[in-house]
Amino acid sequence: MAFITANWNPLGETFYRKTELYDMTWNVRDGLRESLVAAAPYGGPIALLREPHRRSPSSRPQLEIYSASGTAIASFPWKSGPVIHLGWTVCDELLCIQEDGTVLVYDLFGSFKRHFSMGQEVVQSQVLEAKVFHSPYGTGVAIVTGSSRFTLATNIDDLKLRRLPEVPGLQGKPSCWVILTQDRQTKVLLSTGPELYILDNTSCTAVCPPGLSPQTCSIVHMCVSFSYRYLALFTDTGHLWTGFSNLQEKLSEVDTKKTTAPKHMLWCRRPQSQQPSVVLMWDRLLMVVGQCHDTVQFPVEDPCVLVGEMDGVRIISSASQEMLQEVPLVCQDIFKIASMAPGALLLEAHREYEKSSQKADEYLREIKEQSMLREAVRQCVEAAGHEYDPKTQKSLLRAASFGKCFLTDFSPDSFVQTCRELRVLNAVRESSVGLPLTHVQFKQMTLQVLIDRLVYRRFYPLAIEICHYLKIPDYQGVSRVLKHWASCKVQQKDLSDEAIARAVCVKVADSPGVSYSDIAAKAYECGRTELAIKLLDFEPRSGEQVPLLLKMKRSQLALSKAVESGDTDLVYTVVSYLKNEMNRGDFFMTLRNQPVALSLYRQFCKLQEQDTLRDLYNQDDDHQELANYYVSASYREKRLDARLSVLQSAVDEYNKSKNEFAAKATEDEMRLLRFQRKLDDEKGAGLLGLSLQATMEALLALGLYKQAEQLYRDFRVPDKRYWWLKLKSLAEKEEWDELEKFSKSKKSPIGYLAFVEVCMKYNNKYEAKKYVLKVTPEQKVKAHLAISDLEGAADAAIERRNDAEIGAVLAKCPTSDQLLMEKLNRARAAITKK
């Protein structure tokens, strides 16, 4: 396999290699020369605007979008204003920056998404130059205008324009400039020729790179590394200065012996780079300049475009695409000619083993003697990751697997993972997919993003295969893919609603994490309301359906779905929406069909809008509730006549609802109120609002017996109640004569034991005794006991020959009263004998 090192070029201590990625499938010929070109990093798409300077309406420039392998994705004539610059965002959107400062955003498939402007003043002064840059905050745009002013937007998704201060002495555009991000700030480094300035939000500072040879006159080209850490400056004397981008330290200075400014200049580094370099390109020459002052030169035949990656530089020409990068250390160790690194030996051992040669054992033994087998396996696995050619990958992995057999406790994780990842990478590198990612880039961009990118490019089956293959949990993997697929599917105008809904349902089924309402929302955005409704039917969570249904003005449906969901907040949302949308009548009718919503709304009205509540009952002809409403409303009325009239409405409603009882009760209440008012006016009794019972009580307490009597008759108060009332009241006032009179007025409906007890309650034994005589025989004993007349009780009990009663008296008997006890016991014995 000696030929692996065939494309290696030594640079200082290390090697640089140029690997062919693709034969470009496009047909652009000289297109690259006179076009505006933008190619995104991480194997992103390429955009071409052909002949951007043609302006006549008859021949418009053509905008073409290709995958990294040159497969055409989209192509359309450019109808907007003249374009100054093209660039890609981190999420594969194309930015077209026009002369007038308008930035148009297109998606990967060339459909227009939105636009924004870089400021009003730009329309006048025009954009001279523009750059698109990426930072941790997202994708940014920087422009320099005809009035030599810079404007920045650090994140186009959260557009905030910053106009930078003026640069002293700058006329037109600077000779060259770059964007730096440092200390969480975005700055512009520019050269006006002899002077170098750093421009930030507030100031413009002249700077001088340390150690730049004094003979230089002017800086004509500059570039920063992928990570914004390193800076390279090219002077008109052909010197290349490299150093840190904070301009604190110089790395090297190389004389390229070229006096024309290069067309492209890019850093070519990789993580843990041994020999970082800068790639410069002139019309016919590509030069790699290392820090060791060494250079590698390649002739260039076609016009090329350079794309900086985190671990190298991609060179795109009309015919092919190549990757220029420093050979990773581990690959150098293994493949360097006559390398004795453990990995190299292991590879050799495996090769011999394949040939069934016993040399395999010798090599292996050599590694084992140095106890480097573990290291050897690691090297092979790692190197496989860095190789682009599947054959090389395979031979390395086989060697690793071979070596692994001789290790007892080697964790296979890294091996398995590398195998899996390489398989995925090889799949996406396919020319038809066209994502030439290196393993390092893949690690940096993460699998999630890779899947997203595939989804953006509509490689749904591949994405799903990858998810399955790498065993990504469904809600992170397959579901996300399906969601995108479905959103894309609903936009297909040539299919019927029915067909799409069925297709979506079959594919998506009930994958976790795919929301049918999101898909439906997408369909609605595309103006397919019917489809959206069909799709919503598949949504199991009714709560999710509601907002969209409201948006689509299917309010009735929304309401019933909201009720179904059992989420009252959702019901409220719909109800309050309907309240504003509909006229009152329709609104009430709608509610009427939804009891749950209705009762919720009633609750709300009870606290917030009493009048609405009345209208609601009115609408429903709910006389019973309406009447109840009036009753409770009557308590809010301060004035009596108002109160009476509200109560009259209640009576009417009760009558309508055939609730005679309540109507009668309310009428009584009105009568009572009038009566109370009259007495209040006459005697100042303070009765208004009391219950009938309380009124009578108050009247009796005031000694207004006649009036109390009147109420008793008028309101048909039961005799028992009235007697109890009067009895208590008189006893309380200790009007014993009046009480006696009352007791004799007719036969007591509550008996006379009550009289005894009440008298005793007020400790009037004398009065109590009067009533003991009137008590019925059954209650005699109790009555005597109540006034603690044991003798009497005993006599009564014995007379009645009641065993239980005798027992009751006995229980009360104090032990000292032997005589009585004996008497009782005797009587008891007599009864039991019988």
Partner 1 sequence: MAHSARKDSPELPDFSILKRLAKDQLIYLLEQLPGKKDLFIDADLMSPLDRIANVSTLRQHEVDKLYKVEYKPIISTSDQICFLIRPRIQTVKWICDVANTDKTAGKFRRYKIIFTPQKFYACDAVLEEQGIFGDVTTDEWPFYLLPLDEDIISLELPEFFRDNFLAGDQRWVRTISNVLHQLYSLYGPFSKVYGIGRCSKMAYDAWKQNKEGEQKADHAAIGKMVLIDRDVDYVTPLCSQVVYEGLVDDIFKIKCGCVEFGPDVTSDNKSVKVMLNSEDKVFAEIRNEHFSNVFGFLSQKARNLQTAYDKRRGMDIQQMKTFVSEELKGLKQQHRLLSLHIGASESIMKKKTKQDFQELLKTEHSLLEGFEIRKCISYIEEHISRQVSMVESLRLLCLLSITENGLLPKDYRSLKAQYLQSYGVHHLLTFANLRQLGLLVEQQPGETLTVMESKVGKLVNDKAAGKLTDAFSSLAKKSNFRALSKKLNLVPKSEEYDLRIPRDMAYIFSGAYVPLSCKLIEQVLERDGWTGLEEVIRLLNGHEFTGPGCNGVDLGVKNDAQRIILVMFLGGCTFSEISALRFLGREKGFKFIVVTTAITNSSRLLEALLDNHV
Which residues lie near partner 1 (CB under 8 A)? 475, 512-513, 540-541, 566-570, 572-573, 576, 595-596, 599-600, 602-604, 607-608, 624, 628, 631-632, 635-636, 661-662, 665-666, 668-669, 672, 689-694, 715, 717-718, 720-721, 724
* Residue type, position 258, single letter: K
Closest CA to 628 of 595, 602, 592, 601: 602
As a whole number of angstroms, the distance between CA 240 and CA 263 comes to 14
Asked whether 714 and 722 are in contact (CB, 8 A), the reply is no
Least spacing, CB of residue 487 vs partner 1, in Å:
21
Which CB atom, from 97 or from 600, has the smaller least distance to partner 1? 600
Least spacing, CB of residue 589 vs partner 1, in Å:
19
Which CB atom, from 103 or from 692, has the smaller least distance to partner 1? 692
Q: Which two tokens stand for residue 786?
A: 């109540």
As a whole number of angstroms, the distance between CA 4 and CA 545 comes to 60
Asked whether 286 and 300 are in contact (CB, 8 A), the reply is yes
Q: Pairing mode, if any, of strands 35-39 and 46-50?
A: antiparallel
Which CB atom, from 530 or from 732, has the smaller least distance to partner 1? 732
Helices (H) and strands (E) in the chain, counts: 32, 29
Which CB atom, from 263 or from 602, has the smaller least distance to partner 1? 602
Least spacing, CB of residue 507 vs partner 1, in Å:
19
Give the sheet arrangement for strand 219-224, strand by strand.
Answer: 219-224, 230-235, 239-244, 250-255
Least spacing, CB of residue 341 vs partner 1, in Å:
47
Q: Which two tokens stand for residue 254?
A: 């190389």
Which CB atom, from 415 or from 601, has the smaller least distance to partner 1? 601
Least spacing, CB of residue 669 vs partner 1, in Å:
4
Which CB atom, from 527 or from 686, has the smaller least distance to partner 1? 686
Residue 484 makes CB contacts below 8 A (sequence gap 6+) with: 455, 456, 460
Least spacing, CB of residue 786 vs partner 1, in Å:
11
Least spacing, CB of residue 209 vs partner 1, in Å:
46
Which CB atom, from 223 or from 571, has the smaller least distance to partner 1? 571
Closest CA to 341 of 282, 278, 383: 383
Q: Which two tokens stand for residue 13?
A: 């201590």
Q: Which two tokens stand for residue 510?
A: 């009930």
Which CB atom, from 447 or from 596, has the smaller least distance to partner 1? 596
Query: What b/e string do you get for 692-718 counting C-beta neighbours within 10 Å, with b at 16 or more?
Result: beebbbbbbebebeebbeebbeeeebe
Handedness of CA 598, 599, 603, 606 (dihedral sign): positive
Least spacing, CB of residue 169 vs partner 1, in Å:
49
Least spacing, CB of residue 711 vs partner 1, in Å:
10
What does the DSSP assignment read for 745-764? HS--TTTTHHHHHHHHHTT-
Least spacing, CB of residue 642 vs partner 1, in Å:
15
Residue 107 makes CB contacts below 8 A (sequence gap 6+) with: 92, 93, 94, 113, 456
Which CB atom, from 479 or from 802, has the smaller least distance to partner 1? 479
Which CB atom, from 226 or from 712, has the smaller least distance to partner 1? 712
